[in-house]
């Protein structure tokens, strides 16, 4: 979700806790798991607590958005709720997205029903927690924090609040074999927590790994509401596309394989006839153009949903990789809009055939991906740059309930009734 700035800040905080020995260059702390301490709260009654790293726009990618959607879908059953931010205090523009919530200081045990609490600066500070607080987390370090707080409830009150873990990828795979990967693996507690899996493919992967959650809910991906409006407009008047390849570029996220994308584009540029007539653009976190020698990636940055919809409606070909068991939304979005899309398989994941234009490269190498990209570009030219069929309103990705389908049952399970 986010890395460098937040991790440096957390390492600094952890060093303060470690004392003089931490002044050496030898790492002695796991930066993501700065302890979360609690104190007794007298305010009873069930309260849903969503733990997130951040709600600031530069960190607000799909995983955080999905967690917020699930949280909001459950609020009807929870008159009291709280968003707890573990890594970054909210900026003013981020708070505008939560007009029904009030920013509350850590020092206060405030009765306001909808709260946002910054818990990133938590050295020598505590969070008010009652016996009735319930926990919803996503990302392994927020799950770790929720599990700490739940354990504190057990010690303080004799009962722990139920913990729900929104699992959106196999997160030990985000690291080499290491302290982080091992602690991330340890946050999967199939006998203790309720799991909510983002896609059945990911749920199946956990079963394959021997991590079979006893209590689980599964939902399938659906198209963003803003993109659904753009897709509806496109279906009424599909037009020829630009000679444009849309790349989902997130260099800071290793599983999105940006280096592999770049190596593939170099080979594509050398082997694609008339490659110079094509433009390559990147939506995501890339802020500066990247010259690969023979081809340049034009950086568009993180786009507003309307601008992203326009890009999906006008690009001919897409390239989006995810080296994990999670399917990833961008290739589905691209293909729903009729683009020819190159993506990758992984273990039990194979997205080829979900849409006519969605293809899994058969060889996971720069040469293999470049060949698949050349094939999609040539197929687009053979169609006179007309799109593949646009996903209609009946397609499960377009009209499915998605996460809303699991929210009522999850709320009932957490409340124990």
Structure tokens at 32: 């993501």
Domains located in the chain, CATH noted: 4-220+403-415 (3.40.50.11090), 225-397 (3.40.50.2000)
- Residue 6 has a pLDDT of 46
pLDDT in tens, 377-397: 999 999 999 999 899 889 999
Dump pLDDT digits (tens) for 20-38: 444 558 989 999 999 999 9
In the prediction, which pLDDT does 236 show?
A: 72
Give the containing element (helix H, strand E) for 127. strand 127-129
Q: Is 368 left (phi over 0), alpha (psi -120 to 50) or beta?
A: alpha
Whether the predicted pLDDT of 405 surpasses 80: yes
- Residue 284's pLDDT band, with cuts at 50, 70 and 90, is confident
CB proximity list for 382: less than 8 A, separation 6 or greater: none
pLDDT value at position 245?
98
Output the pTM of the full model.
Answer: 0.88
- Digit-coded pLDDT (tens) for 1-27: 444 444 444 444 444 444 444 455 898
Which H, E and C letters describe 39-107, residue by residue? EECCCCCCEEEEEECCCCHHHCCHHHHHHHHHHHHHHHHCCCEEEEECCCCCCHHHHCCCCCCEECCCC
Measured CA angle at 398 (ends 231, 332), to 5 deg: 80
204, 346 contact by CB (below 8 A): no
- Please report, for residues 60, 79, 120, 281, 308, the alpha-carbon distance to residue 300 in angstroms, rounded to integers and kept in the order given: 17, 41, 30, 7, 10
């Amino acid at each position: 979700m986010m890395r460098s700035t937040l991790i440096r800040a957390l390492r600094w905080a952890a060093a303060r806790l470690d004392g003089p020995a931490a002044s050496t260059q030898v790492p002695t702390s796991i930066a993501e798991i700065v302890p979360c301490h609690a104190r007794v709260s007298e305010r009873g009654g069930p309260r849903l607590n969503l733990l997130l790293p951040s709600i600031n726009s530069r960190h607000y990618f799909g995983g955080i958005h999905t967690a917020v959607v699930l949280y909001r879908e459950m609020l009807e059953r929870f008159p009291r709720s709280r968003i707890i931010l573990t890594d970054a205090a909210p900026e003013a523009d981020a708070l505008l997205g939560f007009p029904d919530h009030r920013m509350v200081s850590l020092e206060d045990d405030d009765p306001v029903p909808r709260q946002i609490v910054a818990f990133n600066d938590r050295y020598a500070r505590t969070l008010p927690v009652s016996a009735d607080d319930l926990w919803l987390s996503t990302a392994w370090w927020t799950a770790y924090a929720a599990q700490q707080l739940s354990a504190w409830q057990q010690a303080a009150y004799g009962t722990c609040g139920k913990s729900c873990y929104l699992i959106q990828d196999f997160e030990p795979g985000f690291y080499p074999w290491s302290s982080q990967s091992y602690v991330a693996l340890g946050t999967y507690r199939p006998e203790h927590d309720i799991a909510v899996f983002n896609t059945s493919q990911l749920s199946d992967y956990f079963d394959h790994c021997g991590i079979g959650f006893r209590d689980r809910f599964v939902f399938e991906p659906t198209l963003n509401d803003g993109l659904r409006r753009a897709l509806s407009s496109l279906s009424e008047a599909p037009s020829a596309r630009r000679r444009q390849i849309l790349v989902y570029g997130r260099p800071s996220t290793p599983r999105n394989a940006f280096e592999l994308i770049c190596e593939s584009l170099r080979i594509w540029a050398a082997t694609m006839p008339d490659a110079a007539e094509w433009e390559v653009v990147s939506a995501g976190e890339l802020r500066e153009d990247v010259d690969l020698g023979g081809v340049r990636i034009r950086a568009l940055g993180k786009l507003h949903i309307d601008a992203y919809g326009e890009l999906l409606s006008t690009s001919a070909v897409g390239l989006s990789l995810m080296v994990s068991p999670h399917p990833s939304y961008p290739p589905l979005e691209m293909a729903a809009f009729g683009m020819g899309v190159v993506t990758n398989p992984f273990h039990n994941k194979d997205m080829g055939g979900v849409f006519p234009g969605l293809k899994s490269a058969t060889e996971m190498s720069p040469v293999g991906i470049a060949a698949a990209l050349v094939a999609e570009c040539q197929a687009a030219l053979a169609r006179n740059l007309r799109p593949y069929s646009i996903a209609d309103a009946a397609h499960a990705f377009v009209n499915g309930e998605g996460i809303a389908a699991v929210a009522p049952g999850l709320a009932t399970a957490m409340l124990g009734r």
